[in-house]
Amino acid sequence: MVSESPVPAAGFASARAQSEAERFGAYLASRGLIDPGLLARALARQRRSRRPLGEVLVAHGQLSRRDMVRALGAFHGIMEVDLAAAPADPALLARCSAAACLDAGCIPWRRVGSTVIVVLADPTPERLREAEQACGLTPGTAAVALADRQEIEAALALAFRDHLALRAGRRTREELSCRSWGRHTRTVAAAGVALALLCFALFGIAPCLAVIFCLAVLSNAATTALRLTSLVMSWVIEDRAPPHELPRLSRFRTLPQVSILVPLFRETEVLDRLLAALGRLDYPAELLDIILVLEEDDTRMVEAVQARSLPPTCRALTVPADSLRTKPRAMNYALDFCRGEILGIYDAEDQPDPKQVATVVEAFAESPARVACIQARLSYFNAGENWISRCFAVEYATWFNVLLKGVQRVRFPVPLGGTSVFFRRSALEAVGAWDAHNVTEDADLGMRLARFGLRTRVIDSITLEEANCRAWPWVKQRSRWQKGYMVTWITHMLQPLQLWRDLGVYGFIGFQVLMLGGAAAQLSLPLLWLGWLMSSLGFVPSWIAAVPAPLMPAIAVSLLVGQVVLFATSIRALVNTGQARLIPWLAILPLYWPLGAAAAYKALFELVFKPFYWDKTDHGVSVVDPYGGQPLPGFRPADHPGIGPEEAVVVEEAAHAARVVARA
């Protein structure tokens, strides 16, 4: 939590820590390891961040990590340990909590008589007390040795490999995870098919199809109501903060450390522009902890990261291979290695607003404690590439700028996006982090946050992504999303009464609309279109004839109003985001919808046969690449008609950064 006033309990401990930082700084200056002219500024950063002075100097590139550890050992007169050459004693590790040791930055190394030598990265009395507790030692029985924190974490990852890998797949409680039922989907599907055939045999095909038709119309009406509510609120309720107001971090006495996870799997094509984008984040370097999360068996990606010189704020973490290979499992594994009290997620192709982390910190500071999550807006840098990317951009603009804000305002549970989303770490751990088996882990996590009484806030900060603009890759990506929504609905509906109690009546209804609305609309599309086509040709389908006549006018009005509201909501979103030039492309949305139907049926098939399969989306394939590694003659927004003025500012900065990197 960010504080705007001095910490009352700082007292002697804070003063002692500051005095020690000043003495260590003087020691470094006397040994010629730091320019005395830079020391005052480094000490000012240390006071503000409350991080060790050595970490501050390393984060700003003023001292190498190796020199920092050696100087710290010499200053304190503490032995430095090479944990790779001399591993820790397994008997001592057996008494430890891996998560606690990672949090404290320590590892028990050797026993000498009644004393246990504990290796620390920060050899202060406070850290030593934390280390004794994490290692299961009696207070006062430990001696201190020194090693770099990354080396300590690598040693812990090796020593607790199997435990941490198993923990990554099971962080979410079983009754809230799809792993509790996902292995039995074929049996359940067979029972469902048998039940459907029995209904057809008992009641006839036409009445059954009529019921399905009416349910599809009801789902459409519910989704229309949500769209209409969001549209009205977008006119009536304006955001309290000006949309372009910059974060004012200078008013905070202390700032939180922020960890950012970037899961990478077969992303070598976009690695350089990703590192350039991460390097543009405008937040104190000593408080940024960026982790590139790699898969052990993705050797090309691992080698590509190792071949690059990562900035001091960035480190790589390799996740042990497993038969389950999903993004949420990788993030669960990395969670124990995070150092921040706020945790964010970026995808490989992301180009976030440089001020985004600072904006998130300010948003958390001014929000009540119940706000556990901050979601930024997503948009596309290649929105104008082709008709698919234009339609995709319309969808994203509508979702993030109108619908999601409406969902937030009516207090429905918010299905999160998979990127540019930030959490209070304590809240994330309390709800069980990510369900490692759910392929749309973000939406599921949003539902669990709501079930625990926590809230999500949507802010206007923008992250640009690469729109999937090829038909079959689009279908594969969308089918994964649709399958995840289906999985999430089934998982939480296994105990409907408990879900009702957790969310309340209003939240329960919202859950049904959000989790079922999209899939139901796409799955019913062939039936609706076939009925419309046959009726227009003068043939009334038997299932429509089976619908009670008094309902038909209401159904017709509902479908018509649904289309009007859909287009009105899209127009409002495009105008809001400065993408009004895309409005004429709304006319081709009906050609886009069959792709969604194909994705929904693919998702339904995979729900039965491959519920945990992660259909990977390839990035770096767009021909529109304003962030490429080659020098650019200059970016002109007019060259990319899908990009609005807000996005253009971010793109311009990204293009400039890419040119600087290329020249370097």
Residue 282, token pair as written in the block: 């405008």
Average pLDDT, the chain: 85
Q: Which two tokens stand for residue 269?
A: 């094509």
Written as one string, the DSSP assignment of 14-74 is HHHHHHHHHHHHHHHHHTTSS-HHHHHHHHHHHHHH---HHHHHHHTTSS-HHHHHHHHHH
Q: Which of 468, 514, 558 is nearest to 230 (CA)?
A: 514
pLDDT at 289: 96
Q: CB neighbours (10 Å) of residue 526?
A: 14
- What letter represents residue 658's amino acid? A
Q: What pLDDT score was predicted for residue 211?
A: 84
Alpha helices in 60-148 (DSSP H): 65-76, 90-93, 98-104, 125-134
| Tally of helices (H runs) and strands (E runs) in the chain | 25, 11
How far apart CA 428 and CA 335 sit, in angstroms, is 10
Average pLDDT over residues 113-135: 90
- Please report the pLDDT score of residue 531 as a whole number: 77
Distance from C-alpha of 509 to C-alpha of 503, rounded to nearest angstrom: 9
Separation of alpha carbons 539 and 493, rounded Å: 39
Question: Using CA atoms, how far apart are residues 449 and 431, in angstroms rounded to an integer?
Answer: 7
Q: By the 8 A CB rule, do 169 and 324 touch?
A: yes
Local structure of 377: helix, strand or coil: strand
β-strands 342-345, 421-424: how paired? Answer: antiparallel
Q: 247 falls in which pLDDT band (50, 70, 90)?
A: low
Strands 351-352 and 288-295: unpaired
Dump pLDDT digits (tens) for 413-446.
999 988 999 999 999 999 999 999 999 999 999 9
Which tokens go with 46? Answer: 């240390």
CB 559 within 8 A of CB 551: no
Q: Tens digits of per-residue pLDDT, 329-381?
A: 999 999 999 999 999 999 999 999 999 999 999 999 999 999 999 999 999 88
Fold of 236-521+615-663: Spore Coat Polysaccharide Biosynthesis Protein SpsA; Chain A (3.90.550)
* Cα angle 394-399-404, degrees, rounded to a multiple of 5: 160
CB 471 within 8 A of CB 388: yes
Gap between the Cα atoms of 561 and 660, Å rounded: 51
* The predicted structure's pLDDT at residue 634: 35
Closest CA to 334 of 259, 426, 445: 259
Q: CATH number of the domain at 90-159, please?
A: 3.30.300.160
- Residue owning tokens 């079959």: 472
Confidence of residue 251 (pLDDT cuts 50, 70, 90): low
CB–CB of 582/383 below 8 Å? yes
Residue spans of the domains in the chain: they are 11-76, 90-159, 236-521+615-663
